[in-house]
Amino acid sequence: MPKPVPTQQLIDGLLRGDRLALARAISRVEDDAEDAAGIVQAVFAHTGKAHFIGVTGAPGTGKSTLVSALVESYRASGVTVGVLAVDPTSPFSGGALLGDRVRMTSHSGDAGVFIRSMATRRGAGGLAKASAEAMLLLDAAGFDCVLVETVGAGQAEIEIASVADTVVVVEAPGLGDEVQAIKAGLLEIADIFAVNKADRKGAARTVAALEMMLETGAAAAQPIFHHGQRMEASTARSETDAKEEWSIPVLETVAVSGGGVAQLRDALERHRAWLVESGRRAAREGRRLDHILQTVVQAEILARMERALPPDLRRHLVEKMQQRETDPYSAASDLVQKLST
Amino acid sequence: MPKPVPTQQLIDGLLRGDRLALARAISRVEDDAEDAAGIVQAVFAHTGKAHFIGVTGAPGTGKSTLVSALVESYRASGVTVGVLAVDPTSPFSGGALLGDRVRMTSHSGDAGVFIRSMATRRGAGGLAKASAEAMLLLDAAGFDCVLVETVGAGQAEIEIASVADTVVVVEAPGLGDEVQAIKAGLLEIADIFAVNKADRKGAARTVAALEMMLETGAAAAQPIFHHGQRMEASTARSETDAKEEWSIPVLETVAVSGGGVAQLRDALERHRAWLVESGRRAAREGRRLDHILQTVVQAEILARMERALPPDLRRHLVEKMQQRETDPYSAASDLVQKLST
């Protein structure tokens, strides 16, 4: 086995924008390697410049294709782009490698693009932490824009709202009832809606439905994020001279042919400008850093717990539960007590 | 506001099989109410009888309809059924209420069926804990069979494998590439595959693809669950006289017309019998209880962390990160240190 590349060499390479060093550094973070924390610490001072764009939507909306079209659009104007495809649906298989490879091919040879799939067997918490850290690494490596693509299901959609400057929610016509239910959650995190596959039947109805939901929702809108959101709200309140609200656009796109992508790109630029002018950019960065802090603290505490848990005691407690001699709460407090002593 | 029903009254009612008491008890668990732990503790001695069946699959596979068809089949032979629809995709909206209501109607007036949607704003961890506890409540309330339906995306599919006796993975023909990627994860947790919408084009191909994946996968199969799976593996090894392996069937169903449902029901019965005969039933219960123990311990530890975290310190650390005067790991260790003192 070849000797692993020394940490300092990775850090230096990454900060120079070396792709291989960046790829390796992301792997260290993904694997939760011993030097993962050190890498993040070393490059953190060089972060804070990238525009983080979250792209999320249900399976089948074509968001990977849309991300690819956006990459093309950014590259055409010389903007460098990092892409993280975060796939919490494949904890076992190691991510959506197929889609990744397809896209890799179309942008291969372009040093201004870096595409990476993130997946982990370490569970949702581990993936959230690794993805957030990989975002920092791409920022430190000098990419102007970092697209974070994630399937809009479960916790991932909340995560993306916590880490992105701008959230694009991708919809598509005619995905059926179950997918409609997902919308309710996505509605609350979108800065921009893209109705993709807009050349299909029902696109106009999807657009109309979203616009109606936005109108209805706007009246009832409430801050939903516990810590991060409150932070943003209070920051926003203090910026009384930049009070103008962002009006969420609903755009039609046909990613496969590039239709509507220029308009989406334009909306992204407008949102970015709005964040800066309204003073919200700093608030969103604060939310992102607070979220990263939280994932690191939780990981640290849960790791300590894992290390401290005597496996024999745990097995013994499970056996006692199976005999109905104890219950989950009594067993848990036995364990927690053991951890505190 | 009406006075809340006393805890003891809920417990007594639930153990008598009173539906309203059961519904209220589940709400207490879902809301993480003060008496949630007490309810679980009180009824735990009455658990251990139900057959827990997990039904999972991607959006659009028609698994809700299939669950409904299964309920009908069970009811026709006098088996009582509880259904939990766990929807991690709607943390904001409060679950797939539409589907729930539709199904409620078709089984309404039947005291042998209880259907409930679970959702929570408390994040994936909170939902996992509440769902596992609700399963215990349904078991204690006397339901012979508890169907846990969850969308096959992300962490939920791992959870279901940790808590069910039998896992049914629902597929459907022609759901596109992205959905195919989900399969890789689901493959490793399935005890039974149901290819639903089998009257559609491509069903035979989906069946063939699954059978091929099963053949390929069987050779490379490895235990993937850290604690629970290892426990099961070691238990299995000790049962040398019941060594026969379970052969995962791939069944075709057309849930809307009831086609293939009898065969699915039959496979479920066979799996249940196999669990008992092979000695695996106890191992799966151990895995389930270990999982519940873990969720309770994690919730307790994270709650302690939340309570102990001084919000001012957290805000201060985020500001220092924004100034690049500290980094996420240094800030986290400041916080963790504060927690330990």
- Portion of chain A with pLDDT greater than 90, in percent: 49
Tell me, what amino acid is at A248?
Answer: I
Structure tokens at A238: 């203090």
* A-chain residues near B34 (CB < 8 A): none
pLDDT at A156: 53
For residues A302 and A263, the model is more confident at A263
Q: Residue B180 has what pLDDT?
A: 52
Environment class of residue A201 by beta-carbon count within 10 Å: exposed (0-12), middle (13-18) or buried (19+)? Answer: exposed
What value does the mean pLDDT take over residues A100-118? 73
Residues of B in contact with A182 (CB under 8 A): 59, 89-90
Strongest mean pLDDT among A181-185, A245-249, B227-231 = A245-249
Query: Over 90: is that where the pLDDT of A38 sits?
Result: yes
pLDDT score recorded for residue B125: 64
Nearest CB among A41, A45, A321 relative to B289 is that of A321
pLDDT band, very low/low/confident/very high, at A212 (cuts 50, 70, 90): confident
Residues in chain A: 341
Which residues of chain B does A305 touch, with a Cβ-Cβ cutoff of 8 Å?
Answer: 297-298, 301
- Name the phi and psi angles at A109, rounded to 5: 85, -5
Characterize B108-131 residue by residue with b for buried, 16 or more Cβ atoms within 10 angstroms of its Cβ, and e for exposed.
Answer: eeeebbbbbbbbbebbbbbbbbbb
A11 or A1, which is more confident: A11
pLDDT band, residue B64 (cuts 50/70/90): confident
Q: Which residue has the higher pLDDT, A313 or A51?
A: A51
B156 contacts in A (CB within 8 Å)?
A: 154
Picking from B98, B176, B328, the nearest residue to A44 by CB comes out as: B328
Query: For residue B80, is it left (φ>0), alpha (ψ between -120 and 50) or beta?
Result: beta
pLDDT score recorded for residue B155: 55
Question: Poorest-confidence range of A163-172, A208-217, B312-321?
Answer: A208-217
Q: Which of A64-73, A303-312, B91-100, B282-291 shows the lowest mean pLDDT across its residues?
A: B91-100
| A-interface mutation test, from B298, B329, B340, most A Cβ less than 10 A away | B329
pLDDT given for residue B195 in this prediction: 94
Residues of B with Cβ-Cβ distance to A92 under 8 angstroms: 184-185, 188, 224
Distance from CA of B138 to the nearest CA of A (A): 16
Would you say A189 and A213 are in contact if contact means Cβ atoms under 8 Å apart?
A: no
Confidence of residue A89 (pLDDT cuts 50, 70, 90): low
pLDDT value, residue A101: 45
Q: What angle do CA A48, A270, A57 make, to 5 degrees?
A: 80
pLDDT at site B230: 36
Query: What confidence tens digit (pLDDT) does each residue in B227-259 have?
Result: 333 334 334 334 444 447 899 999 999 999 999
Q: What is the DSSP letter of A254?
A: B
Which of A149-158, A180-189, B246-255 shows the highest mean pLDDT? B246-255
pLDDT grade, residue B158 (50/70/90)? low
Q: Which amino acid is at B332?
A: A
Q: In which band, very low, low, confident or very high, does the pLDDT at B334 lie, cut at 50, 70 and 90?
A: confident
- Looking at residue B176, what is its pLDDT? 57
Identify which of B78, B97, B96, B76 has the alpha carbon closest to the alpha carbon of residue B88. Answer: B96
Question: Which pLDDT value is given to residue B123?
Answer: 57
In this prediction, residue A229 has a pLDDT band, given cuts at 50, 70 and 90, of very low
Q: Which of A150-164, A174-188, A299-313, B272-286 has the lowest mean pLDDT?
A: A174-188
Choose the mutation target among A301, A323, A324, A337 for the interface with B, i.e. most B CBs under 10 Å: A301
Q: How far apart are the first and last CA of chain B?
A: 42
B115-157 confidence digits (pLDDT tens): 988 865 555 567 778 889 999 999 999 999 999 998 755 555 5
Grade residue A160 by pLDDT with cuts at 50, 70 and 90: confident
Give the chain B residue whose CA is nearest to the CA of A338.
B297
Q: Is A185 in Cβ contact with B90 (below 8 Å)?
A: yes
Predicted local confidence at residue A93, as pLDDT: 36
pLDDT value for A189: 86
What is the mean predicted confidence (pLDDT) over B329-340? 84
Which pLDDT does position B219 carry in this prediction? 47
> Residue B19 above 80 pLDDT?
yes
Per-residue pLDDT for A336 more than 60? Answer: yes
Greater confidence, B78 or B56? B78
Calculate how close chain B gets to A265, using CA atoms only, in Å: 24
pLDDT at A118: 81
The confidence score (pLDDT) of residue B90 equals 45
Residue B301 to residue A339, Cβ atoms within 8 A:
yes
Give me the residues paired with residue B168 across strands: B55, B192
Residues A151-155: what's their mean pLDDT? 58
Q: Could B44 and A324 be called an inter-chain contact, meaning their C-beta atoms sit closer than 8 Å?
A: yes
Give the residue-averaged pLDDT of B89-96: 41
Q: What is the pLDDT of residue B303?
A: 78
- The rounded mean pLDDT for chain A is 81
Residue A108 or B215, more confident: B215
- Tell me which chain B residue has its CA closest to the CA of residue A89: B154
User: Could you read off the pLDDT of A263-278 as tens digits, one per residue?
Assistant: 999 999 999 999 999 9
* pLDDT surpasses 80 at A60: no
- Does residue B204 surpass a pLDDT of 70? yes
Scanning every residue of chain A, which has its alpha carbon at the shortest distance from the alpha carbon of B228? A315
pLDDT for B24-44, tens place per residue?
Answer: 999 999 888 999 999 999 999
- Most A CBs within 10 A among B39, B178, B304, B314, hence the mutation to make, goes to B178
Mean pLDDT score, B66-70: 94
Average pLDDT over residues A222-226: 38
Cβ pairs bridging A and B (under 8 Å): 240
Token readout for A122 is 């370490």
**CA–CA distances in Å: residue A78 to residues A107, A244, B38, B163:** 14, 31, 61, 51
CB contact under 8 A, A153 and B153: yes
Nearest to A188 among B92, B181, B289 (CB): B92
The torsion region of residue B44 among left (phi > 0), alpha (psi -120 to 50) and beta comes to alpha
How many angstroms separate the Cα of B42 from the Cα of each of A70, B15, B26?
56, 10, 14
Q: How far is CA B201 from CA A61, A121, B198, in A?
A: 21, 34, 8
Comparing A187 with A199, which gets the higher pLDDT? A199
Q: What chain A residue is nearest to B332 in terms of C-alpha separation?
A: A297
Q: What is the mean pLDDT of residues A96-105?
A: 48
Here the tokens at position B43 are 């009824």
Work out the percent of chain A whose per-residue pLDDT is above 70: 77
> What mean pLDDT is predicted for residues B300-314?
80
Which pLDDT value is given to residue A187? 72
Determine whether the interchain pair A181/B89 forms a contact, defined as Cβ–Cβ distance below 8 Å. yes
pLDDT at B221 over 90: no
Flag whether pLDDT at A162 surpasses 70.
Answer: yes
Chain A hits for B298, Cβ within 8 Å: 302, 305
Rounded-to-10 torsion of CA B132, B106, B17, B144: -60
Phi and psi, residue A264, nearest 5°: -65, -45
pTM comes to 0.71
Nearest CA in chain B to A88: B154
The pLDDT of residue B212 is: 84
Whether B321 sits inside 8 A of A289 (CB atoms) is yes
| Res A191: pLDDT | 95
When pLDDT is averaged across residues B151-169 and rounded to a whole number, the result is: 76
Inter-chain CB proximity A158 and B330 less than 8 Å: no
Confidence category of residue A41, pLDDT binned at 50, 70, 90: very high
